[in-house]
C-alpha cells in the first residue's frame, strides 16, 4: 500500500553555521542531534523560490582535480555526486532541503516516493508528465530501467550497489546477469516496465528503505541511444536543469541551462545562474587566496571537492573573510584502512592504532575541518557509541606500538590521493610512525583515479586513507558496505580493507533483518566496537567537518546533509 508520509528513519543531523573565527577548531556549530528524514506527502514542483534569488551570472567551483566519475551509475564520490544530482541528472526520488534543518525524501522523476506492496518486497513508481532530456525527447520508465541495468555491467564496477544487490538477492549481483552489453537484456531481473510511465521493482526480500536508495544516481535514466559505455563519464546526457557545454578533463567543465528541463516537474532544483564553471586547475592555496581577495570572478566562486582552506591560509581567511566561511559537521569518517589481504598481522594493525598521532594529523589536515575520531560510525549517525579501543592518547603511544611489534621494523606502502592536503598527510604519517618502527613508503595516485585504484581487490598497497558517510540515515549504509566480506568483488569495492570475517558477515545479515530500528541501531554500535576491538582493520582518525569558502556575491549557499557538501541547487549570483 502507499507508504508516503509513514516511514521515518533516524538521522543524526549535523548543525552548521558560518565560522565566527572565535575558535581555531570549529565555527559556531550546534550539537549533533537525532532528527528524522521523512517521506514527503507532496512531490510536486516547482521548488520553492529562494528569497532574494535572481537569474543570471556565472558560478565557479574551484577544485584541485577532476571528478572521478560523472557517469551516474558509477558516481559515488561526494563532489561529483552533488554536481550530478543537483545539476545534471534526476533520479526516481531525491532529497528536499533548503538549509533549514528539515530533510524530506520526495518523488523526483516519480510522482511520489513509491507505492509499496507485498510486504515491502514490491515497489511501484510512476513517472511525472512532461519529463524531458536536454534534446527535448521524453524520459521514459524504460530509460530508468536501462540505467539500472547498465549498473550491473562489470565494465562499470564503481558506484552504489544497493539496488543491484537487492534485485539479485545476493551481494554477487552480476553472477547471472551482467547488464545490457554483450547481448544482455535492457531491463534487469525482477524489474517490470509495463509502459513508458511505470517501473516496478520486485525484490526477493523486503526493503523498507527503497525510497532512499532510489535517490542515489543508480536510479538515473540513460537513453540507450546515448550510452557510450565507459566513455559516458565524459558526457552524461542531461535530465536536470543544466547540461554540459564543454568538458576538458583535468582542466575545466562548463555547464549551461538545459532549456528542456521543466521546473514545474522538479520539487528541489533551480536554474538561477546562467552557467556553472568547474575549474580543476587551482591549488587549495590559490583558490583560498582568490576568494579571500574577493575580486573579479572570485566574487561568484566557492571551494569544492577536496578544496578545504589550507592550514597556512586559514588564519588569514578568518581575519578577512569569516562571514564567507560555511562550516559544520558531516556524516563522514576519515580512516586509514589496512589492506588486510596484505597486512595480515593483527598485532601490527593494533600497534599502528596505538601509534597514530591524531592531534598532529588533524593539524596537518586542518584543525577547523574535523575532530579526532576513534570509531567506525560518525557521532552524527544513529547507532554511534563513543569508545576508543586503542587509546594511545592525543599524540599516540609509540612505546605501546613498539612493544606490540617486538621492537622490529616493518615496511609498508601507503597510497594517497595526489592533492596538497593528502601529500602533507602522507609525509606526516611517514615521519610520525617511523619512531614506532614503521618504514612507510608513500606513493601518489591521481586524484581522479584514487577510489577506482584502491577499489581493486588486487591493488598493491598496504594502507590508504578512505572517507565514508551514510548513504541515507542510519548505520545500515555504513557497516554493511564497508565491512561485509561477502560483498567483495574484483573491482569497485567499498570494503577497501578487504575484511572478510565470518562472524562480522553473519552479524550484518542478522542486523539487516531486524524490524526494530532502535534495536538495530544498538546492534550496529556494538558491531562497530567489536570490529575494531577484535580485528582492527582500520585506524579511524577524523570526524569530518565541511568547510567552504565562498565569494561575496554567492547567494543561496547551505551545507547539504545527505551529501555533506555545499548544496548547489539553490545557488544564485547576487
CATH of the domain at 171: 3.40.190.10
Q: How far apart are CA 352 and CA 341, in angstroms?
A: 17
Which helix (H) or strand (E) element contains residue 276? strand 275-279
CA distances from 421 to 225, 311, 369, 567 (A): 41, 9, 12, 23
Q: How far apart are CA 418 and CA 366, in angstroms?
A: 17
pLDDT recorded at residue 24: 31
CA distances from 181 to 186, 269, 457 (A): 9, 33, 23
Q: What is the mean pLDDT of the chain?
A: 91
CA neighbor of 565 nearest in space, from 32, 150, 80, 24? 80
Q: How far apart are CA 125 and CA 266, in angstroms?
A: 16
CA neighbor of 476 nearest in space, from 166, 190, 107, 204? 166
Q: What is the pLDDT of residues 517-543, one digit of tens each?
A: 889 999 999 999 999 999 999 999 999
Do 342 and 201 lie in one domain? The reply is no
Please list, in sequence order, all residues whose beta carbon lies within 8 angstroms of the beta carbon of residue 497, skipping any fewer than 6 positions away: 337, 338, 339, 340, 482, 483, 537, 538
Do 97 and 211 lie in one domain? The reply is yes
Domain-ending residue, one of 185, 206, 230: 230
Quick one: what percent of the chain has pLDDT higher than 70? 93
Q: 164 lies in a domain? A: yes
Q: 302 lies in a domain? A: no
Do 339 and 226 lie in one domain? The reply is no
For 448, phi then psi, to 5°, come to -85, 10
CA torsion, ordered 45, 198, 152, 133, to nearest 10 deg: -50
Q: How far apart are CA 64 and CA 327, in angstroms?
A: 19
Per-residue pLDDT for 33 more than 80?
A: no
CATH of the domain at 429: 3.10.105.10
Q: 50 lies in a domain? A: no
Per-residue pLDDT for 368 more than 70?
A: yes
- Picking from 32-41, 66-75, 409-418, which range would have the lowest pLDDT averaged per residue? 32-41
* 425 vs 380: which has the higher pLDDT: 425
Q: 321 lies in a domain? A: no
Q: Pairing state of beta strands 370-372 and 8-13?
A: unpaired
pLDDT recorded at residue 552: 98
For 479, phi then psi, to 5°, come to -65, -50
Contact present, 504 and 485 (Cβ < 8 Å): yes
Q: Which domain holds residue 424?
A: 334-546
CA distances from 174 to 167, 238, 539 (A): 10, 27, 32
Q: 263 lies in a domain? A: no
Do 395 and 536 lie in one domain? The reply is yes
- Picking from 136-150, 205-219, 275-289, 304-318, which range would have the lowest pLDDT averaged per residue? 304-318
Q: What is the pLDDT of residues 289-339, one digit of tens each?
A: 999 999 999 999 999 876 788 888 999 999 999 999 999 888 999 999 999
Quick one: what percent of the chain has pLDDT higher than 90? 83
Q: 535 lies in a domain? A: yes
Please list, in sequence order, all residues whose beta carbon lies within 8 angstroms of the beta carbon of residue 231, skipping any fewer than 6 positions away: none
Q: How far apart are CA 516 and CA 435, in angstroms?
A: 48
Q: What is the CA radius of gyration of the chain?
A: 23
pLDDT recorded at residue 516: 87
Do 479 and 338 lie in one domain? The reply is yes
Q: Could you give the number of structural domains in the chain?
A: 2
Bridge partners (DSSP) of residue 334 are 467, 542
Per-residue pLDDT for 13 more than 80?
A: no
Q: 210 lies in a domain? A: yes
Torsion sign (Cα): 483, 486, 488, 493:
negative
Q: How confident is the model at residue 445 (pLDDT cuts 50, 70, 90)?
A: very high
- Alpha carbons within 13 angstroms on the beta-carbon side of residue 44 total 2
Q: How confident is the model at residue 99 (pLDDT cuts 50, 70, 90)?
A: low
Q: 272 lies in a domain? A: no
Domain-ending residue, one of 230, 264, 295: 230
Listing DSSP states for 440-469 in one string gives EEEEEE-TTTHHHHHTSTT---SEEEEEE-
Domain-ending residue, one of 205, 230, 255: 230
Do 357 and 215 lie in one domain? The reply is no
Listing DSSP states for 534-565 in one string gives HH--EEEEEEEEEEEEB-TTEES--EETTTTE
Amino acid at each position: 500500500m502507499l507508504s508516503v508520509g509513514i516511514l521515518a528513519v533516524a538521522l543524526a543531523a549535523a548543525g552548521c553555521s558560518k565560522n565566527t573565527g572565535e575558535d581555531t577548531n570549529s565555527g559556531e556549530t550546534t550539537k549533533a542531534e537525532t532528527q528524522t528524514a521523512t517521506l514527503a506527502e507532496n512531490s510536486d514542483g516547482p521548488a520553492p523560490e529562494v528569497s532574494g534569488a535572481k537569474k543570471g551570472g556565472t558560478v565557479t567551483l574551484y577544485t584541485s582535480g577532476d571528478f572521478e566519475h560523472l557517469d551516474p551509475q558509477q558516481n559515488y564520490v561526494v563532489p561529483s555526486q552533488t554536481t550530478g544530482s543537483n545539476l545534471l541528472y534526476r533520479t526516481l526520488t531525491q532529497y528536499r532541503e533548503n538549509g533549514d534543518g528539515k530533510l524530506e525524501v520526495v518523488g523526483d522523476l516519480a510522482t511520489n516516493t513509491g507505492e509499496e506492496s507485498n510486504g515491502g518486497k514490491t515497489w511501484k513508481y510512476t513517472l511525472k508528465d512532461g519529463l524531458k532530456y536536454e534534446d527535448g525527447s521524453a524520459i521514459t520508465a524504460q530509460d530508468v530501467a536501462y540505467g539500472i541495468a547498465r549498473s550491473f555491467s562489470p565494465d562499470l564496477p564503481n558506484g552504489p550497489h544497493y539496488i543491484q544487490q537487492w534485485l539479485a538477492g545476493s551481494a554477487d549481483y552480476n553472477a547471472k546477469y551482467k547488464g545490457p552489453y554483450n547481448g544482455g537484456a535492457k531491463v534487469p531481473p525482477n524489474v517490470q516496465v509495463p509502459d513508458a510511465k511505470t517501473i516496478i521493482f520486485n525484490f526477493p526480500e523486503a526493503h523498507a528503505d527503497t525510497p532512499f536508495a532510489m535517490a542515489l544516481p543508480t536510479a538515473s535514466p540513460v537513453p540507450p541511444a546515448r550510452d557510450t559505455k565507459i566513455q559516458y563519464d565524459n558526457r552524461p546526457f542531461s535530465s536536470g536543469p543544466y547540461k554540459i557545454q564543454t568538458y576538458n578533463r583535468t582542466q575545466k567543465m562548463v555547464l549551461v541551462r538545459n532549456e528542456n528541463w521543466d521546473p514545474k516537474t522538479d520539487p528541489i532544483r533551480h536554474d538561477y545562474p546562467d552557467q556553472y564553471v568547474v575549474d580543476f586547475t587551482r591549488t587549495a592555496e590559490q583558490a583560498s587566496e582568490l576568494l579571500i581577495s574577493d575580486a573579479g570572478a572570485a566574487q561568484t566562486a566557492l571551494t569544492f571537492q577536496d578544496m578545504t582552506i589550507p592550514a597556512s591560509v586559514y588564519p588569514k581567511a578568518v581575519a578577512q573573510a569569516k562571514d564567507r566561511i560555511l562550516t559544520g559537521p558531516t556524516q563522514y569518517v576519515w580512516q586509514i584502512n589496512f589492506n588486510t589481504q596484505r597486512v595480515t598481522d593483527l598485532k601490527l594493525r593494533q600497534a599502528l592504532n596505538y601509534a597514530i598521532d591524531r592531534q598532529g594529523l588533524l593539524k596537518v589536515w586542518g584543525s577547523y575541518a574535523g575532530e579526532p575520531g576513534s570509531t567506525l560510525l560518525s557521532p552524527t549517525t544513529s547507532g554511534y557509541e563513543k569508545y576508543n579501543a586503542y587509546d594511545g592518547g592525543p599524540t599516540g603511544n609509540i612505546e605501546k606500538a613498539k612493544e606490540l611489534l617486538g621492537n622490529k621494523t616493518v615496511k609498508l606502502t601507503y597510497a594517497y590521493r595526489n592533492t596538497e592536503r593528502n601529500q602533507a598527510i602522507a609525509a606526516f604519517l611517514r615521519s610520525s610512525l617511523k619512531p614506532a618502527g614503521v618504514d612507510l613508503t608513500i606513493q601518489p595516485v591521481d586524484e581522479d583515479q584514487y577510489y577506482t585504484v584502491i577499489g581493486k581487490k588486487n591493488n598493491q598497497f598496504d594502507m590508504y586513507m578512505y572517507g565514508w558517510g551514510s548513504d541515507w540515515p542510519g548505520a545500515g549504509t555504513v557497516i554493511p558496505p564497508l565491512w561485509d566480506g561477502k560483498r567483495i568483488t574484483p573491482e569497485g569495492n567499498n570494503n577497501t580493507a578487504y575484511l572478510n570475517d565470518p562472524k562480522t558477515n553473519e552479524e550484518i545479515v542478522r542486523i539487516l533483518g531486524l524490524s526494530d530500528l532502535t534495536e538495530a541501531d544498538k546492534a550496529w554500535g556494538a558491531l562497530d566496537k567489536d570490529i575494531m576491538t577484535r580485528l582492527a582493520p582500520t585506524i579511524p582518525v577524523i570526524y569530518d567537518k565541511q568547510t567552504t569558502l565562498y565569494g561575496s556575491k554567492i547567494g543561496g549557499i547551505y551545507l547539504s546533509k545527505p551529501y555533506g557538501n555545499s548544496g548547489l541547487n539553490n545557488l544564485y549570483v547576487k
